[in-house]
């Protein structure tokens, strides 16, 4: 198993980024690597980090401003070669269809519920590990 996994977290709200970090802890499940975070508060920062490479999973806030995570997800799925899996944070369960439109790999509702979030993130990290093997 790789030593660490890099998770990009995009939200203009530092409290949302903190919720993601706290829900993840050192690792979201015993069978996935320890997580290191790259935090981004702007769409440009997300694109810069993805251009650098090395991101295993993206967590995007659907309520972020000026560009929501759904639009950001759709853009990176179109523009980033071998785009990492995306976990979308959505405001309401009824927004799940928008997560599908954006081509997110998984979605959980805000505020971040630690058990649900950790399970979704761990699942994406497992899938990423299988794709890389």
| CATH code for the domain in which residue 114 is found | 3.40.50.2300
- Which own/partner contact pairs does 121-126 have at CB distance under 8 Å and 24+ positions apart? 121/7, 121/24, 121/28, 121/35, 121/57, 121/59, 121/87, 122/28, 122/29, 122/31, 122/32, 124/57, 124/85, 124/87, 125/5, 125/28, 125/29, 125/32, 125/33, 125/35, 125/56, 125/57, 126/31, 126/32
Closest CA to 121 of 103, 99, 96, 104: 104
CA dist 78 and 93 (Å) reads 25
The pTM for the full model equals: 0.96
pLDDT band at 1 (very low <50, low <70, confident <90, very high): low
CA dist 122 and 105 (Å) reads 12
% of the chain at pLDDT higher than 70: 98
Mean pLDDT of 96-119: 96
Average pLDDT in the chain: 95
What is the residue range of 75's domain?
4-132
Number of domains in the chain: 1
Residue 29 has what DSSP assignment? S
Q: Is a pLDDT exceeding 90 seen at residue 80?
A: yes
Q: Is a pLDDT exceeding 90 seen at residue 128?
A: no
Count CB-CB contacts under 10 A for residue 127. Answer: 14
Residue with the two structure tokens 């927004």: 95
| Residue 38 DSSP SS3 | strand
pLDDT band at 116 (very low <50, low <70, confident <90, very high): very high
């Amino acid at each position: 198993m790789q030593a660490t996994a890099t998770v990009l977290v995009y939200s203009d709200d530092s409290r949302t980024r903190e919720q993601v970090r706290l829900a993840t802890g050192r690792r979201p499940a015993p069978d996935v690597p320890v997580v290191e975070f790259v935090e981004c508060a702007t769409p440009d920062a997300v694109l810069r980090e993805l251009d650098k490479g090395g991101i295993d999973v993206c967590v995007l806030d659907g309520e972020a401003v000026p560009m929501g995570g759904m639009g950001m997800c759709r853009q990176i799925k179109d523009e980033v070669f071998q785009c990492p899996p995306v976990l979308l944070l959505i405001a309401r369960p009824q927004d799940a269809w928008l997560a599908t439109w954006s081509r997110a790999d998984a979605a959980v509702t805000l505020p971040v519920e630690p058990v649900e979030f950790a399970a979704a993130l761990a699942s994406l990290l497992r899938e990423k590990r299988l794709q890389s093997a």
